[in-house]
Every structure is written in structure tokens, then in C-alpha cells.
Amino acid sequence: MTDYEVSMKSVPTVRVAELTGTAEAMDPSSIGPVVQGLYDQLSAGLGRAGLVPTGPAIAYYEDADDGAKTVVHAALPVETDLSDEYDFTVTDLPAEPQMATLLHTGSMDNCLPAYQALGHWIEQGGYRAAGPSREVTLAFTGDADGWVTELQQPIEKV
């Protein structure tokens, strides 16, 4: 069915600086411009604060209160205390004991088949989603064909 290899792993708690925005829908054409703008703002904010990211970018999404739109979270790992002194939020993404993961190569505009493969694997394995999925950017190049993103979905047995 797929060229994707799904694996399971646990992930530790990670402290991140993040900004949030709202996309009109949960599709790449709606999310892409929002997440890019958030990362531009976040990078500038980290620079003003004298902070340097300590790991790869992490994006995650939630349904907005209206049920139609999507809340977009753009996060970068940082080493700092929890504080409200910044123009971004510092928070801890929780540890997850079971994450179904797969690697997507190329532009995130073309990530839907990867998400479908991950969802199919989860369902076929007798699992269900147990929280928002995460997109961890492992490689970000000038050419989108070289991007590598790990899709992570917390899961639990049904």
C-alpha cells in the first residue's frame, strides 16, 4: 500500500518557544503560509531574546474552538526557564510513551499521502490517536525536494 516505513518510539519532554496562529482549514495550502510566518516571527523573537534553538523545529495543530479552523503551533526547542518575559510562549511539550512515526521527504505541500499511510498503520495495528500529531523538521533546504520531516502521532491501544 505504501512506500512509508512506520516505526514506534517514545519521545521525551521538550521545552520549546512557540507562537500560534490560525489557519482556515487543516490542509497544507492553508497551514503552510501561517506556519512559515510564525517561524519567521519566532526566529526574530529568539534573536531579540538572545536564545538559540537547541533542536529541530516542531509544528503541531489543534482544532480551533469554531470547529472549522485550525490552531497552528510553530515551536523551536530552547534552553531557558519558563517565563512570560518574552514575546513568545515558553512551554514544555509533554513526553509521549508511544509515538507512531514515519519520515516524509519533500515539500509539506505533498504530505497528505504520508499522513494517510500513518493513519492506516495506526488503525490496522489496533491503535488510535492520543493527542495532536507533531511534525519535526529534520532537514530544511533551499530546495523543498530535500526537506525531511518526521511525522509523529501519539497513540494508544484501542
For position 2, what pLDDT does the model report? 61
Indicate the helix (H) or strand (E) that contains 76.
strand 70-77
Indicate the helix (H) or strand (E) that contains 136.
strand 134-139
Q: How far is CA 22 from CA 28, 32, 34, 57, 97, in A?
A: 13, 11, 7, 18, 29
For position 1, what pLDDT does the model report? 46
Report the predicted TM-score, pTM, of the whole model to 2 decimal places: 0.94
Residue 63 three-state SS: strand
Cα-Cα-Cα-Cα torsion 103, 109, 115, 116, nearest 10 degrees, comes to -130
Residue pLDDT, tens place only, 100-113: 999 999 999 999 99
Mean pLDDT by 10 residues, the chain (158 residues): 86 98 92 96 97 97 87 97 94 97 95 95 97 96 94 97
Residue 116 three-state SS: helix
Calpha distance 123→114 (Å, rounded): 14
